[in-house]
Amino acid sequence: MKESLGTTGLILNEPMLWEKGKKGRCGFSYPQRDVESYHLDDELTGTGPDFPDLSEVDVVRHFTRLSQWNFGVDTGMYPLGSCTMKYNPKTNERQARLEGFSGAHPLLPTHLSQGVLKLMFQLEGFLSDITGMDAVTLQPAAGAHGELAGMLIIHAFHKSKCLHCSKIIVPDTAHGTNPASAALCGYRSVPVKSNEKGVLSAEAVAEIMDEDTAGIMITNPNTLGLFEENVKKIAEIVHSKGGLVYCDGANMNAVMGIVHMGEIGVDVLHLNLHKTFSTPHGGGGPGSGPLCVKKDLETFLPVPRVVKNNNRYLLSENFPDSIGKMHTFYGNVGVMIKAYSYILSMGPDNLKKASQLAVLNANYIQKKLQGIFHLAYDRPCMHECIFSDKLQKAQKITTLDIVKRLMDYGFHPPTIYFPLVVNGAIMIEPTETESKENLDLFIEACKAVANEAQDNPDLLRKAPTRCKVRRLDETTAARHPCLTG
């Protein structure tokens, strides 16, 4: 590699605000007081709150310096597998900040909220068209919340048939939250292993599917980055025993505009707007996990639902079979606005192209790094590819060592040690938003790290060496966390 992106730079140490503060400093002028002053005393200590006195320049420099310690998708590539940490166009942020949206209050009457309600109603329609499902709710506030809503609907469906199923099938390539969502609805997870191709076989599902099983939770594409090619046949087996097919749609970034989940046997599907539809993810803001269902499950969707009546939009709770509320207000509506903006600006052709480019980028990385790292499944992947540290084991170099050293080259580490079915997994998802030049830089860095693992393994064991913080004692951090800042 000719030149590394990672460098030391002018990164300054920064003390706590309480250490910087000096009595009498003030960064702004208080407005004229129109009430009597009141001294706030702590009931336990008898003293007032300990707020540091800071000048404006103290505050500005403090938070600017802290921001320089961070790494985000606006800084560089974020190749986290199964997370779709793609770049978010700033125009979507602008739309969400429009005064009519940002100033909306959840307690406003519906006649003063027609714009927001219309947007939500239309967004549900867009998501229905994109997925091939019949009805959508925007209530769930995140992916796992959407999973829970989906399982509650499956539970309500069986209850309406006077059936009391106790089990749910969960593949070893499903997302880790799936068993928890099932357990919250009273189901016992029945594991099923993927085959030698990394996907589910219809025969394996047929062996364990019975009338006491509520259905199956499939992640498609699965966490190995592979499309579940037998899903239609599996759905037929599950349906023949009275079960339902839940699909974890967190990886829709690979099949958006290409696969209609409703046509391949899926009954319930959750989406992650904060992954597939270009809104901030994780620490970047709240999430949104809409739930899409087939027509015979629509009656169970959570309330209130946005309905259209005589060209007016209303929030209606007149659905007696509903599973109820998933949360009180649509406080994450900003995420929906960004997704709505993204869908409109892209259009159907470009949504499909985004998926195609995500798959192309992942397969490009997989091909270029084959033989550099061990490839878990030597076949075309979808949006992400899975390697392992098997080729570096002879030098006693682990997956953790590899990705720590990648940080020195200026790249955020990929997802590691997941999925669990691959020992020492390195999970890379480049997304569609990275150019070939960026991918080539990442590939060069990976090759450089692999060469160092062979020639100078001690270098990897000490990595990272160029970052603000060196390698942490993760065992002690987990067992004795410091929670006071």
What is the 3-state composition of the chain as percent helix, strand, coil, each rounded to the nearest 5?
A: 40, 10, 50
Domain assignment present for residue 148? The answer is yes
**Chain-wide mean pLDDT for the chain?**
92
Other beta carbons within 10 Å of 24: 7
**Residue 304 clears pLDDT 90, i.e. is over it:** yes
- pLDDT per residue over 225-236, tens digit each? 999 999 999 999
pLDDT for the residue 44: 55
pLDDT at 363 over 80: yes
Using the predicted structure, report yes or no on whether residue 49 has a pLDDT greater than 80.
Answer: no
Compute CA distances 169 → 178, 241, 242, 247, 252, whole Å. 10, 13, 13, 12, 21
- Asked whether residue 197 is assigned to any structural domain, the reply reads yes
Tell me how far apart the alpha carbons of residues 451 and 157 are, in angstroms, rounded to a whole number.
56
C-alpha to C-alpha distance for 26 and 59, rounded to whole angstroms: 10
Is position 75 within any domain? no
Both structure tokens of 159: 């209850």
CA distance 423 to 418: 8
| Model confidence at 141: pLDDT above 80 | yes
pLDDT at residue 13 tops 60: yes
The string of pLDDT tens digits covering residues 263-278 is 999 999 999 998 899 8
pLDDT digits (tens, 9 = 90+) for 429-464: 999 999 999 999 999 999 999 999 999 999 999 999
Residue 294's closest CA among 244, 366, 224, 233? 244
Instruction: Reduce the DSSP state of residue 283 to 3 states and report it.
Output: helix
DSSP string, 432-464: TTS-HHHHHHHHHHHHHHHHHHHH-HHHHHH--
Residue 306 clears pLDDT 90, i.e. is over it:
yes
Q: CA–CA separation, 221 vs 277, rounded Å?
A: 16
For the segment 175-201, the average pLDDT, to the nearest whole number, is: 94
Q: What is the average per-residue pLDDT within 310-336? A: 93
pLDDT at position 399: 98
Residue 155 included in any domain: yes
Q: Which two tokens stand for residue 386?
A: 């899975």
Contact 376, 425 (CB under 8 A): yes
Segments forming the whole domain that contains residue 151: 91-345
Place of tokens 């942020």: 93
Instruction: State whether residue 153 is helix, strand or coil.
Output: helix
Q: Is residue 175 one of the residues assigned to a domain?
A: yes
Residue 337 lies in a domain: yes
For residues 433 and 253, give the distance between their C-alpha atoms in angstroms, rounded to a whole number: 11
Mean pLDDT of 146-170: 96
**For residue 60, pLDDT beyond 70:** yes
The partner residues of 136 in beta bridges, in order of sequence, read 292
Residue 165 lies in a domain: yes
What integer is the mean pLDDT of 186-203? 96
> Is the whole model's pTM more than 0.85, yes or no?
yes
Could you tell me the CATH number of the domain that includes residue 159? 3.40.640.10
DSSP state of 428: E
As for how many domains the chain has, the answer is 1
Q: Does 478 reside within a domain?
A: no
pLDDT tens-digit profile of 387-403?
999 999 999 999 999 99
